[in-house]
Amino acid sequence: MSDDELDRAAEILLNGGLVAFPTETVYGLGANALDPVAVARIYEVKQRPFASPVIVHVANEAMARSIAAEWPERAQALAKKFWPGPLTLVLKKAEAIPNLVTAGLPSIGIRVPAHPVALALIRRAGIPIAAPSANRFSEISPTTAAHVRRSLGDRVDLIIDGGPTQVGIESTVASLVRVPPAVLRPGMISQTELETTTGISWDREKDVPHISESPGLYARHYAPRTPFYVLGPDTNRPSGRGRILEMPADLESYAHRLYSELHQADGEGWDWIAVTQPPDTPAWSGILDRLRRASTPAITKD
């Protein structure tokens, strides 16, 4: 990406506009996190409910500290281990952050993305960037610029094409305002890794009540328009003309390809699409979470 393109993107953000940009997880729809009018445009363009908070992307620990009211030792340990990377830390928010960013909650989700374009954009603009996934709310997250254009069209002031994302699913969301801390949204950084880094046990996402401080937790989310099924040993194949996606066996490749495969199949006119259920192990919890929220209830065998 050229300096001129970065300058243009930063100027758009500083003037209250929206810029879609790549991170290592998925493409984000970015606005100045300190500007409530700009953040409101994110919700409008995505058709996102105001009760769903957005994650704020920062360039480094210093910027993270500037928008968090507290920076506990566990935040320091996790940031040192996993940032830049696909980990969002939920902390008490600073007063400078508009309530619209956090859905009125006193906490804020913050992360440092591990993508050169994302980091360069944040640094050039000099502001924290509020950025949920760059797609219509509850639909398949975008992992290419083409996915963003197909979903949001000309409602975004600028779409930066940084090629396909590398990780492929959204970040792990880890709450440090809870006691004990809790994984609100699983991802490619596992609960075991968080526990090893902090030296304490964490709550599991499925055991945590009132999980509204994390995005991506609606019962129906990440979903194609075509009926989508996860086929386990006790489920029947749906009737009609369908396609079963052939997915890689290894976790990283599966995550990298999941949304891309769903986008492709969703545009092919099938009556249904499906995947075979992957391993039900802690390492696969992020994948299993996305499949569960994206899928239509399975047809159980008699």
Boundaries of every domain in the chain: 3-207, 228-294
DSSP class of 133: B
Secondary-structure class of domain 3-207 per CATH = alpha beta
Question: What are the φ and ψ backbone dihedral angles of 203, each rounded to 5 degrees?
Answer: -70, 150
Locate all alpha helices (DSSP H) within 163-230, ordered by sequence: 191-198
What are the CA-CA distances from residue 255 to residues 15, 182, 262 (Å)? 35, 22, 12
- Among 43, 228, 6, 249, which Cα is nearest to 131's? 43
**Spatial CB neighbours of 161, under 8 Å, sequence gap ≥ 6:** 22, 144, 145
pTM summary value:
0.93
Per-residue pLDDT reduced to its tens digit, 30-54 = 999 999 999 999 999 999 988 889 9
Per-residue pLDDT reduced to its tens digit, 135-192 = 999 899 999 999 999 999 999 999 999 999 999 999 999 999 999 999 999 999 999 9
Per-residue pLDDT reduced to its tens digit, 204-213 = 765 444 446 6
Residue 302 banded pLDDT, cuts 50, 70, 90: very low
- Residue 221, pLDDT above cutoff 80: no
* Mean pLDDT of the chain, nearest integer: 92
Q: Taking CA 117 as the corner, what is the angle to CA 111 and CA 120, rounded to the nearest 5 degrees?
A: 75
**Spatial CB neighbours of 24, under 8 Å, sequence gap ≥ 6:** 85, 86, 113, 114, 115, 118, 165, 166, 167
